[in-house]
Chains A and B, each alone.
Chain A
Amino acid sequence: MSRRLIRTLGTSFSARNIRKDALSTHFSPAPHLSPSESPANPYRLHTIVVPNPSPTPPQPPTSTIDPSEVAKFSRLAESWWDPDGPSRLLHLMNGARVGWIRETVTRNMPERLVGRGLEGVRVLDVGCGGGFLSEALARLGAHVVGVDAARENVQVATAHALKDPSLRRADGTCLIDYRNTTAESLLDQGEKFDVVCAMEILEHVADAAHFIQMCSGLLKPSSLLLVSTISRTPLSYLVTVLLAEHLLRFVEPGTHDYEKYCTPEELTGMMAKAGVMEVERRGVMWNPIAGRWEVGDGSAWTTGANYFMAGKSDELGV
């Protein structure tokens, strides 16, 4: 009952009433659907089957990746772009995230922007998932590299981006450089970026401090590390675990691991150890009445659950 109520408050009428079949559930049916089970009409509504050539995700090379987390998000791969699927809140958060990224980059490195939006900067999206952050940043003109440890995610993200002509080159290849790899490998390859985005990933890695260290290593001098994550407070437990997972089922139970959450102070410390100085901190709150995420200031009151933090590498590089 309460779930229904909150959904009513949090979504528009139309959102609730949308019939599944009127929408494109891009990646259904699931790969396990054998041809004999598939419907008679081969031209069914928007159905692309993304095959799954490797049932087990490749073992990531080093330690910050948590294998159980990779498996968890591989299972999510098919539903990344389902408007009513488990990523719904993340989709809704995307506008707030991208707005903050655009403003933060404009404020902190205006000299590198050459045109509108984010033109002129090379951005890394760590843990790109279905690619909705990468797509938005690419539309704003950034040169985007999206990496994910789960191969299914990279396939889903590539297939989805290719459907948008504005994200396709003339030769039909994808404008976004999606790679099935890890931040560690990029570091080994000596890749450098103007902006490294680690959005909604810190709470899923095995060793947060090491992860921040690695991301920092990918920064050019005077470049930005942008993190979006969840603080470890009673409020965040209530909101992200109890409410979002168990009571309202916005996201699947087990999506979040409270023990892995970092407070803003802890994150500032990790960044500082990696040679990255905090330049911005903003709280992010879900407004169930308006049905949208709102970016607050950086006070302790607003950063009690979800928050954004930006850090800048020093002039000599990390």
Chain B
Amino acid sequence: MPPRALALLRPPCRSLTSHSHSLARTRPSRTPRSLPCHARALSSASSDPEHFDVVIVGGGVAGTALAAALAVNPSLARTRVALIESADLYVKPAHTPGLYSNRVSSYNPSSVEFFKRLGMWDSLLSDRTRAFTKMEVWDAVGGGRVSFPPSSSSLSADPIAHIIENAAVQAGLVDVLSRSNPGAQVEVFNRSKVKAINRWEAPQVLGRPAGEGKGRDFFDELEWPEVVLESGKRVKARLLVGADGATSRVRQFANVDFFGWDYDQRGVVATLRVDPADENVTAWQRFLPTGPISMLPLAPGYSSMVWSTTPALAQVLPKLPPATFTTLVNAAFRNALPDLSFLTSHQVDLDAEARWGRQILPPAINWGPHPNPPEVLDVQEGSRAPFPLRLRHSQRYVTERVALVGDAAHLVHPLAGLGLNLGLGDVQALAVVLGEAVENGGDLGSIHVLQNYASSRYVPNLLTLGVVDAFKFLFSTDAPPLAWLRSAGMDAFDAFEPVKRVAMRFASGKLL
């Protein structure tokens, strides 16, 4: 059952939270798509719009990474890029020893290679970046289990992925922008909110050859999307890139539908303090019928958790006393399912009940020869936060003079830790397409150029979304036949190394 493996390979990430600022700011009022001529005359009196070849709306990880990728590409030396961010792009990450942000993501080898090409990987290699080399995924219902790497494999030394705080990655990307680069000149509009995005529509010119005698003013106003900032500044975009997250205004401006559904689960993130005796290089994921719970290593003694569960429990978890929460997390990783249901549905002495449940299980059923996740000791104060779990996909990634990347184009269930990696894949593909277009004299906003980006990303992303969704569905049931088949499949998969290697390549972003 090779496809089953595909989504198991990456631990969850919190890419959904990386655009929280844009989530907060956008409840857009319908902006007019056209204004009559007199309105144009009034607004143009304030200032003439500035022209840019690429205008990126949204300075999250995806948007900033795109700006950085364009800046290092020598083919784009004459390209002018604007990066518009509503929050402060230059805020330094706190880096307090022993405290970790709950906004962390897992970066697969493809993303790491991208960071290396940007020349920022070395600066990310600190004691706050954690590689994990092992992965344990198991099923709470049937007991099926998959371990990575395969025991005899030569892959064993390679990191499966790196866990890094989003703020650190963001700061690294901003550093790239502030260097002197061989490629595009990037102008940052920091703490600049977008007021409106317009596309001027040309009045019909009947009985007069287009362009004759009208000169510059007439054509300036044609067709290029115009972003109006709250400062009154207007920028015109040869290509407008929406990197502005799930509620993308650029996507709404381009009239692109965002299809999908909300899952019947919510996620809870938290930063955990775990047993410091554990070397902590393993990602743990246990599939419960209510959703997967995962633990990712941050440093010796620290892990990050994401627990996808019922909306009711997700509401309660962040408010529980730290000790109770810790007990429940340990139980979710270690206790038998009936125990866990009992613990989460009754007013009981959680701690005593959980210990009793673990004690009465015979060792073979409890853990047997399998490795144990480190015991959770505590939860970092203020690190617990719920977030919605959704699947969305844009009807298309490009229209004339508009391209969408990252969460603006797709949202995926975090169970495989793919979200941000997909976005970085978009960014790399778009940067390559734009570089080639400039070398061939192309118009960067032309649909013929942009289609190359869309065709390289749309189907692979859709496939990834589909595989992850299928996993979510497959593991959401405890009906005996399916649960039994599922666990048998996991065991069969675990024993079949060639298939595991293919799955590994998929997870590292190198198969599609």
Residue A317 is within 8 A (CB to CB) of chain B in the complex: no
Residue B185 CB within 8 A of the other chain: no
Min CB–CB distance B64 → chain A (angstroms):
24
Give Cα A98 to B439, complex, Å.
9
A291 and B455 contact, CB distance less than 8 A: yes
A136 at the binding interface (Cβ < 8 Å) = yes
* Chain A residues bordering chain B, tally (CB within 8 A): 54
Interface positions, chain B 52-96, Cβ under 8 Å from A, are 77-78
> Smallest Cβ distance from B189 to chain A, in angstroms?
20
- Do residues B36 and A43 form an inter-chain contact, with CB atoms below 8 A? yes
Number of interface residues of B (CB under 8 A): 49
What is the CB-to-nearest-CB distance from B432 to chain A, in angstroms, rounded to a whole number? 13
A91 within 8 A of B: yes
**B276 CB → nearest A CB, Å:** 49
Contact of A163 with B by CB under 8 A: yes
Q: Is the CB of B454 within 8 A of A12?
A: yes
Is A135 interfacial (CB 8 A cutoff)?
yes
Q: B residues within 8 A CB of A12?
A: 451, 454-455, 458-459
A24 sits at the interface (CB 8 A): yes
8 Å CB contacts to B: which residues of A23-63?
A: 23-24, 35, 38, 42-51, 53
B442 at interface, CB cutoff 8 A:
yes
A53 to B212, CA, bound (A): 14
Expressed in whole angstroms, the minimum distance between the Cβ of A96 and any Cβ of chain B is 8
Q: Check B203 for interface membership: any CB of A closer than 8 A.
A: yes
B396 located at the interface, meaning its Cβ lies under 8 Å from any Cβ of chain A in the complex: yes
B400 interface residue, CB < 8 Å from A? yes
Q: Closest B-chain residue to A164, C-beta based?
A: B443
Does B222 contact A11, Cβ atoms closer than 8 Å? no
Given A42-B204, A99-B440, A168-B216, A159–B210 Cβ distance below 8 Å? Answer: yes
Known: A18-B399, A159-B211, A172-B215. A135 touches B206 (CB 8 A): no
Asked if A299 is at the interface of the complex by the 8 Å CB criterion, the answer is no
In the complex, are the beta carbons of A15 and B451 less than 8 A apart?
yes
B220 and chain A: residue at smallest CB distance: A165
CA distance A162 to B439 in the complex (A): 21
Q: Is the CB of A46 within 8 A of B216?
A: no
Asked if A301 CB lies within 8 Å of chain B CBs, one says no
Q: Within 8 Å CB of B219, what residues of A?
A: 162-163, 165, 168, 172
**B201 on the A face (CB < 8 A):** yes
Do B51 and A165 touch (CB < 8 A)? yes
User: Could you say which residues of chain B place their CB within 8 Å of the CB of A137?
Assistant: 441
Are A18 and B447 within 8 A (Cβ)?
yes
Residues on B with C-beta less than 8 A from A136 are: 440-442
Q: Give chain A residues whose Cβ lies under 8 Å from the Cβ of B78.
A: 116
Q: Which of B34, B441, B458 contacts A98 (CB 8 A)?
A: B441
A95 CB to nearest B CB, Å:
4
User: How far, in whole Å, are A51 and B439 apart by their CA atoms in the complex?
Assistant: 34
Residues on the A chain within 8 Å of B459, using CB: 12-13
Q: Does A292 contact B (CB under 8 A)?
A: yes
A158–B34 Cα gap in the complex (Å)?
Answer: 25
Which residues 213-257 in A have Cβ within 8 Å of B in the complex?
A: none
* B208 CB–A CB distance under 8 Å: yes
- Report the Cα distance A164→B445, complex, angstroms: 11
A140 contacts B210, C-beta separation under 8 Å? no
A117 within 8 A of B: yes
Minimum CB distance partner of B77 in chain A? A116
Residues in B with CB closer than 8 Å to A117 are 439, 441
Considering only CB atoms, which chain B residue lies closest to A12 in the complex?
B455
List of A residues within 8 angstroms of B51 by Cβ = 165
Q: In the assembled complex, how far is the CB of residue B402 from the closest CB belonging to chain A, in whole angstroms?
A: 9
Find A18's partner among B202, B207, B396, B455 (CB 8 Å cutoff): B396
Q: In the complex, given contacts A14-B454, A49-B210, A290-B455, what are 14 additional A-B residue pairs having Cβ atoms less than 8 angstroms apart?
A: A12-B451, A14-B397, A14-B451, A18-B447, A22-B399, A43-B202, A46-B223, A50-B209, A51-B206, A94-B440, A95-B437, A102-B440, A172-B214, A172-B215
Contact residues of B with A, CB < 8 Å?
A: 34, 36, 51, 77-78, 201-211, 214-216, 219-220, 222-223, 238, 254-255, 395-400, 436-437, 439-443, 446-448, 451-452, 454-455, 458-459, 462
A and B contact pairs by CB, cutoff 8 A, 23 listed: A14-B454, A15-B455, A22-B255, A43-B203, A46-B201, A46-B223, A47-B202, A49-B210, A50-B210, A51-B207, A53-B209, A91-B448, A94-B440, A94-B448, A98-B440, A98-B442, A116-B78, A136-B442, A163-B222, A163-B223, A164-B443, A172-B214, A290-B455
The residues of A with any CB-CB pair to B shorter than 8 Å are 11-15, 17-18, 22-24, 35, 38, 42-51, 53, 83, 91-92, 94-95, 98-99, 102, 116-117, 135-140, 155, 158-159, 162-165, 168, 170-172, 174, 290-292
